[in-house]
Chains A and B, each alone.
Chain A
Amino acid sequence: MTQLILEQALNGLQFGLMLFLLAAGLTLVFGIMDMINLAHGSLYMVGAYLAAAAVAASGSFVVGVLLAVAGTAVLGALLEMTVLRRLYTRDHLSQVLATFALILIANEAVRMVWGDQPALLNPPDALSGPVELGGFSYPAFRLLIIAVGTVVALLLYWVVACTRVGMWVRAGASNREMTEALGINVKRLFTLVFAAGAGLCALAGAMLGPLLAVQVGMGESILILAFVVIVIGGIGSIRGALVGSLLVGVVDTLGRALLPWLLRSFLPGEVAANLGPALAAILIYLLMAAVLFWRPAGLFPARG
């Protein structure tokens, strides 16, 4: 039993870290540019497809993932400079409509290039097996995801909290005009932030690709989770995105694994079997509602 819990907790951590890669870009774009970008999930999808193609072409998982990250970052920058930049000053409804259109376009474009079938993205051979973790075995590739996620999360935290670029980003988020008046080209800075966010999406897509299916529409389901994360964490806050991601990742994963089993211990079998999965599916929304009840601006509001 404890093994199951431990294994599921690790799965939750791993999923949470990948959610963070998505939520980080989303929360910065939302917090700084006051822009709702539904197409964020599409960058995740495109990143995963690019990774599948690049891994197949290069024969190396690492090279493929790096190429996908770079390619998606460039794509993100282009998207920002051509389309999204025009939306910053529009109201949220226009942003939602326009970026929803981008989702449809992206899905159709991916279907045209790669077809209807899910793309094949396998973990590197060396990591396809399990490793022994003091008493139970755990897939090596999932451990790699945890390692990569942890390193990137720390790196991102360091950039935002400790570097001058991070200070400009935070300054630009709270007072764009003053940031410009002190010599920072905020327009270019925002393009950079967007490109970085797109690159992180691709990294998440490439790392999760071997576990989940690389297919059209994969961006939408995870986008909803990423929005839940940034609302819980506080819009615009990187720290909030990290805490929110881990919370959502662990609660969702553990809930799905343990809730049916928990319910079975005090409810008749059939009721538990029906109720369990349903309850598990809405668990994170209950979590969000609870957080918003006590902290309406999220756990770490970016603007105090």
Chain B
Amino acid sequence: MKSLLEITGLEVAYGQSQVLFGVNLSLAEGQVATLLGRNGMGKSTTLRSLCGLSPAPAGILAGNIRFGGETLGNWTPDRIARAGIALVPEGRQIFPNLNVRENLVAFAANRRAVAQPWTLERVFSLFPRLAERQANMGNQLSGGEQQMLAIGRALMTNPRLLILDEATEGLAPLVREEIWQCLARLREAGQTILVVDKYVERLIRLADQHTIIERGRVVWSGSSAELDADHGVWHRYLGV
């Protein structure tokens, strides 16, 4: 299968301190992949570099990011977003001074003219809770609602690749499960997804491919079946 995303030899530094030492990761259209690793190993840095956010572009020392056949090089974040990458960031980053509805419609776009684009109605049917709260300001939402809004906001750009950084962090188990089920539904609809999260067991059920990094280096990669079969990997690299 031809890959949609191809990261090779990515090396990234914050100023003087290098945190990624050659990360490789590839992802085919329609696949769901994870990026795993303990705290501070460079998962968010990888995702941010991919989106063109700081420390990119100056912090990218070496490596190549290809997306949809194009080399992103030192593209600006807005250009990368318009090329079809949408980020659900660590900490959700909802706009507090926009209401729920505005958070969704402000960035709506269907740049690749997909046949069944995400619309306000579809996002509301995916997350009925958001429909109830559409007039509330972003800062009046619970953590779970903010997370749903962050996902909805990313979907409204009709991305080719959806990236989620710790989307279930700090959520109650029931709400967390709601997010997982939403991701499973997106997967069924053919959405390509790259997800960073801590719940390996749950991710094995959700994703196809897994990449584990340790101090900025890829130390393991393989399929869900392979990861499921080798619990030694879990202990060694994920601390579970």
Contact = CB atoms under 8 A, between A and B. Distances in A.
Interface of A: 164, 167-168, 170-171, 173-175, 177-186, 302-304
Interface stretch (B36-44, B76-84, B204-212, B215-223): B76-84
B98 interface: yes
Contacts of B78: 180-186
A174 B106 CA distance: 14
Nearest to A164: B106
B3 interface: no
B93 interface: yes
A264 B106 CA distance: 57
A177 B52 CA distance: 10
Interface residues of B, number: 28
A304 to B, nearest CB: 6
Interface in B157-187: 157
Contact of A173 (B77, B87, B97, B137): B97
The 10 closest A-B pairs by CB, nearest first: A183-B81, A167-B106, A182-B107, A180-B77, A178-B93, A180-B78, A183-B82, A171-B95, A185-B78, A181-B77
Contacts of A185: 76, 78-79
Contacts of A183: 78, 81-82, 107, 109, 157
Interface of B: 51-54, 76-79, 81-82, 86-87, 89, 93, 95-98, 102, 105-107, 109, 137, 139, 153-154, 157
A168 B102 CA distance: 10
A168 B78 CA distance: 13
Contacts of A186: 78
B65 to A, nearest CB: 15
A170 B137 CA distance: 12
Given A168-B106, A181-B87, A182-B153, A174 B53 contact: no
Given A180-B53, A182-B78, 15 more contacts: A164-B106, A167-B102, A170-B97, A171-B97, A171-B98, A175-B95, A178-B95, A179-B95, A180-B77, A180-B81, A181-B51, A181-B53, A183-B107, A185-B79, A303-B97
